[in-house]
Amino acid sequence: MAEKDFIVTPWEVVGDVDYTELVKRFGTQEIDEALLARIKKHAPLHYMLRRKIFFSHRDLDWVLGEYEKGNKFFLYTGRGPSDDTHLGHLVPWIFTKYLQDSFGSKLYFQMTDDEKFLFKEKLSREETHSLAYENALDVIALGFDSKKTMIFADTDVIDFLYPHALEVAKKVTFSTAKAVFGFTNETNIGGIFFTSIQSVPAFIESIKQKKPVPCLIPHAIDQDPHFRITRDVAPKIGFPKPSSIHCKFLPSLKGSGKMSSSGSPDSMIYTTDSPEEVERKIMSAFTGGRDTIEEQKRLGGRPEICPIFSYYTFLFETDDEKLKEIEQQCRSGKLMCGEDKARLCERVKKFLAEHQKNREAARKQLSKFMAKKI
Ligand code: TRP
């Protein structure tokens, strides 16, 4: 891989992602000013839209047009339960809650315990199934409306999913799956079939209401290959193509090119981390700072390559003015990395204390959210 190159697939994110280039590779659309203005007619612009954390889409204009005609869309998103939840996972979920609150949408949340069993050598079915329930606690803790939200683990509701997955699978050839996902002869055959299971929730409301119902899928951009297939197949089996809106990845605390939780556990903060772990991970994180205090004062820091600054941007400073202030202080060399990190530590610890409380309280709500039947 060349120095500046990167890979983004649903199972792997490697290198420094150039998002402008990725939009070209995937063939999605950037969210432009006109589209932002259109969203603003219906809801205050979320900071993730203002900051282009959610930056790309497919047919978002279409789904908004339907909404404007009184044809409401439902939301669909999901999680592959392979590990504890980390702060990066919360980014699209927080945004999904904003969409639910703003547009009054129903939400289906898929936990792909089947996928993670198939793709993770070391995980058993029991483990991925129980992780689905552990991860669901983090979803519930964010405050989703239980009357409008259904979370499900694939293996719990497979009786509903399977017939429709068959319809999808019949329209997807092995050569398409190979081209889209990079499968080889060594890929297990469950993995090859799996994408048809991830398609089905985009059709749930159409199936239930026996008429075409628009669907909007908020997700991190790495999942786009699945939904490219879903969109290709949908009209062939009598469903509308789902629209989607895509976010960037919260960068690794270890610096660029070392993305994702499959890397070192210190590259991400998990929602179950103790205050001591938070402190250790943040204080030992990579920054955009200079080698010496003298250089930092003279040259200033580099927020554009700094994961600490990204943590503020993605999650921990939602006020644009205050974020700009942090950026200016950093660039001008007034702010030292130690101080910047210490402040972030306090915010993350405070957030996690609250989140962990809500997460425990969510255990009692699990049965309200987790469906055994669709
Ligand atoms: N495959 C996703 C993952 O590994 C989980 C998932 C299923 C998903 N359906 C989704 C993610 C819809 C976003 C939107 O994380």
Q: Percent of the chain having pLDDT more than 90?
A: 94
CB atoms within 10 A of CB 171: 15
Query: Each residue of 196-248: pLDDT tens digit?
Result: 999 999 999 999 999 999 999 999 999 999 999 999 999 999 999 999 999 99
pLDDT band at 2 (very low <50, low <70, confident <90, very high): low
Q: What is the pLDDT of residue 3?
A: 56
The structural domains of the chain, with segments of one domain joined by +, span: 7-253, 265-361
**Residue 258 banded pLDDT, cuts 50, 70, 90:** very low
Which residue out of 226, 229, 243 has the highest number of ligand 1 atoms within 8 Å of its CB and is therefore the one to mutate? 226
Q: In the structure encoding, which two tokens stand for residue 294, read together? A: 């003298």
CB contact set of 137 (below 8 Å; sequence gap of 6+): 359, 360, 362, 363, 366
Kindly give the distance from the C-alpha atom of residue 279 to the centroid of ligand 1, in angstroms, as a whole number: 30
| Alpha carbon nearest to ligand 1 atom 10, residue | 78
Q: Facing residues of 77 across strands?
A: 109
Residue closest by Cα to atom 1 of ligand 1: 80
Across 5-25, average pLDDT = 91
Q: H or E segment at 153?
A: strand 149-153
Return the pLDDT at 256: 67
Phi and psi torsions of 295, nearest 5°: -65, -40
pLDDT the model gives residue 268? 95
pLDDT of residue 261: 46
Residue 137, H or E segment: helix 125-141
Which pLDDT does position 314 carry in this prediction?
A: 98
Locate 354 and state its tokens.
């609250």
According to the model, what pLDDT value does residue 262 have? 53
- Residue 12: its pLDDT value, please? 86
Pocket, ligand 1, Cβ cutoff 6 A:
10, 76-80, 110, 112, 115, 198, 217, 219, 223
Query: Going by CA atoms, what residue is nearest to atom 8 of ligand 1?
Result: 78
Could you give the strand order of the β-sheet that contains 74-79, starting from the edge strand earlier in sequence?
29-30, 54-58, 243-247, 215-220, 74-79, 107-111, 149-153
Q: Return the structure tokens found at 295.
A: 């250089």
Question: Which whole number is the average pLDDT over 296-304?
Answer: 96
CA-proximal residue: ligand 1, atom 11 (nearest): 78
Q: What is the tens place of the pLDDT at every residue in 106-150?
A: 999 999 999 999 999 999 999 999 999 999 999 999 999 999 999
Calculate how far, in angstroms, residue 329's C-alpha sits from the geometric centre of ligand 1.
38
Q: What is the pLDDT of residue 16?
A: 87
Question: What's the whole-number average pLDDT of the chain?
Answer: 96
Question: Residues 6 or more apart from 349 whose CB is under 8 A from it?
Answer: 275, 278, 279
Distance 223 CA to ligand 1 centre (A): 7
d(C-alpha 195, C-alpha 179), whole Å: 13
Arch. (CATH architecture) of 265-361: Orthogonal Bundle (1.10)
Q: Can you spell out the DSSP letters for 172-210?
A: --HHHHHHHH---TTS-HHHHHHHHHHHGGGGHHHHHHT
Confidence of residue 83 (pLDDT cuts 50, 70, 90): very high
* Cβ neighbours of residue 228 closer than 8 Å, sequence gap 6 or more: 26, 27, 180
Cα 334 to ligand 1 centre (Å):
42
Please state, in angstroms and rounded to a whole number, the distance separating the CA atoms of residues 77 and 86. 16
**What is the atom index within ligand 1 of the atom nearest the CA of 220?**
13
> What's the pTM?
0.97
Residue 209 contacts by C-beta under 8 Å, 6 or more apart in sequence? none
* Angle between the N-to-C axes of helices 125-141 and 337-361, in degrees from 0 to 180, rounded to the nearest 10: 100
Domain 7-253 has CATH 3.30.450.40: no
Helices (H), 236-336: 275-283, 293-299, 307-311, 320-331
Residue 53's pLDDT is what? 98
What was the pLDDT predicted at 184? 94
Q: Is the pLDDT at 1 greater than 80, yes or no?
A: no
Alpha carbons within 13 angstroms on the beta-carbon side of residue 171 total 16
Stretch among 36-40, 58-62, 256-260, 266-270 having the lowest mean pLDDT:
256-260
Mean pLDDT of 154-166: 98
Q: Of 75, 118, 195, 198, which is best to mutate to test ligand 1, by the most ligand atoms within 8 angstroms of its C-beta?
A: 198
| pLDDT at residue number 13 | 87
**pLDDT tier for residue 257 given thresholds of 50, 70 and 90:** low
